[in-house]
Structure 1
Amino acid sequence: MAAPRIYHPDPLAAGQTVALSAAASRHAQVLRLQAGDALTLFGDPVRGGEWAATVVSMGRRIVTVRVDAHRPVEREPGRALHLAVGMPANERMDWLVEKATELGVASIQPLLTARSVLRLHGERADKKVAHWQAVAAAACEQCGGNRVPMVHPVLTLQEWLARLVPAGQAEVRAWLSLADSATPVARWTTVCPNVARVVIGPEGGLTPQEETTLHTAGWHPVSLGPRVLRSETAALALAALVALAAHPQPAPYSRI
């Protein structure tokens, strides 16, 4: 039986003893781990990969483990896909974050757009983002991914575009569109380089003004076909196509 996987986003070294976070300790306790049991730590921001580890002690609140050998294994797609999504309502954003993480997206940017139903601000937005980040970490524990996608703070489309640095030669930028002139995603993925950044509208889609803003900023429309998909369905269909079309070797990794 494979050792349980636990997210530990700190640099590690063989032989050191570390205390797991409160959340990770609760996870280990729920799994009923005992001293001497094996587990796998992942999330090292310096070396990546994963670490074999052994439980040293099970405290009431904190679990300590000994770090053993590093395994330089990565299971990320060969292309880094950054999704910017007009947040769907209810529990659909949770589902989107979980499944997009399983498919290997590099980051998720929740967007407030003109037609967004879910409108988050201030402390409520911060709590939601922390929740979605925890959903992403749990999805990596399950699926074997060693790079947890960053879930960025909620921004309006205009705020987000203003903060982006210019795209380099290895990056393409697009938005999902129903326009007849949009490039089919299946064709677009064949020429897409190492990094793709894609905007997906909320329920009701992007407004013509928002699409004009993206086009003026150098973004290109791509299409998943004539059917009108829910935003979370569209995001996952796109992520699956990009992952399947990617070169087998992981691209240079970036969470931004």
Structure 2
Amino acid sequence: MRIPRIFIDTELNENTTITLPDSAFQHLCKVLRLKSDHPIRVFNGQDFNGTAGQFNATLCDVEKRSANIHITHFEALDNESPIQVTIGQTLSRGERMDYAIQKSVEAGVFAIQPLFSERCEVKLQDNRAEKRLQHWQQVAISAAEQCGRGVVPVVYPPMELNEWVANCKEMLKLTLHHHSAKPIRQYEKPSNNQVALLIGPEGGLSEKEVQLSENSGFSAITLGPRVLRTETAPIVALSVINAIWGDI
């Protein structure tokens, strides 16, 4: 039996019964057409007694417009990467940004910081920026649901690239730059397991931006002899980092 897994943005505890939020009700009861007594798994992206994980539950009291779930017990999950990678992802058009966020979450990213840069073609007004941020966070939630993570990476509000690199606090700071000849394997694992990774837009980072990042403590690295698309770069980078230092 397939057991659906959903994110619920509310406090969760063992041996409790809660009403499903409308979005979860629509998905479970209208789309999947589940009935009472069907097992499900729920999580809220928060630790439970200091441990990341999910709750086992049972659907109950299914009615025309509402349903409850009875939460039984907590199940710890040990599938977070030991390396906390925060990606500074320059904004891209269309579905490319969605793809980058979705796959980064699946690959174990810790957090995502959307960035504006010189060659970034995406312009967002305040009202549109808020809607896009909500959309991107939902993309991250859906990816966490699918890949079994108990933690949902945060997608921060977009900011200027120069501001982000100047204030980045991670111990190891890297810029993906295909003109660099230095591969990531030449660096040592940071002692605090924190990495910041700067990824440019479709047109690439300008030389000024690369220099700016280096002045702020970033080191230019390459992931190989081929030029990667902006939405492909975070997936490859996270895979390499986890292969070298992480959980693969």
**TM-score normalised per structure 2:** 0.90
C-alpha displacement of 1:135: 1.2
Question: Does 1:238 find its partner at 2:237?
Answer: yes
Residues 60, 129 of structure 1: CA spacing in aligned structure 2 closer, same or farther, 3 A cutoff? farther
Q: Deviations over 1:198-228 (max 9, x none)?
A: 0100011111221122111111111112322
CA distance in 2, matches of 1:228, 1:204: 11
Q: Would you say the 8 A contact 2:180–2:221 is kept in 1?
A: no
Q: Which one-letter code corresponds to 1:76 in the other structure?
A: E
Question: Does 1:116 find its partner at 2:116?
Answer: no
2:39 maps to 38
Residues 16, 44 of structure 1: CA spacing in aligned structure 2 closer, same or farther, 3 A cutoff? farther
**TM-score normalised per structure 1:** 0.87
Question: Does 1:143 find its partner at 2:147?
Answer: yes
C-alpha displacement of 1:4: 0.7
Question: Does 1:66 find its partner at 2:66?
Answer: no
Q: Paired residue for 2:129, among 125, 132, 140?
A: 125
Q: Give % identity.
A: 31
Q: Deviations over 1:156-207 (max 9, x none)?
A: 113334554x34xxx31111112344x202443x534411110100011111
Query: Aligned pair count?
Result: 243
Q: Would you say the 8 A contact 2:88–2:197 is kept in 1?
A: yes
C-alpha displacement of 1:38: 0.7
Residues 1-256 of structure 1 correspond to what in structure 2 (within 5 A)?
1-29=1-29, 30-47=31-48, 48-164=52-168, 166-167=169-170, 171-181=171-181, 183-188=182-187, 191-193=189-191, 194-248=193-247
What SS does the aligned partner of 2:231 have? helix
User: For structure 2, which runs of at least 5 residues remain unmatched after alignment?
Assistant: none
Q: Which one-letter code corresponds to 2:70 in the other structure?
A: R
What SS does the aligned partner of 2:173 have? strand
CA distance in 1, matches of 2:34, 2:155: 30
CA distance in 2, matches of 1:108, 1:54: 33
Q: Would you say the 8 A contact 1:53–1:67 is kept in 2?
A: yes
Q: Would you say the 8 A contact 1:136–1:148 is kept in 2?
A: yes
What is the root-mean-square deviation in Å for CA atoms of aligned residues? 2.0
C-alpha displacement of 1:44: 4.2
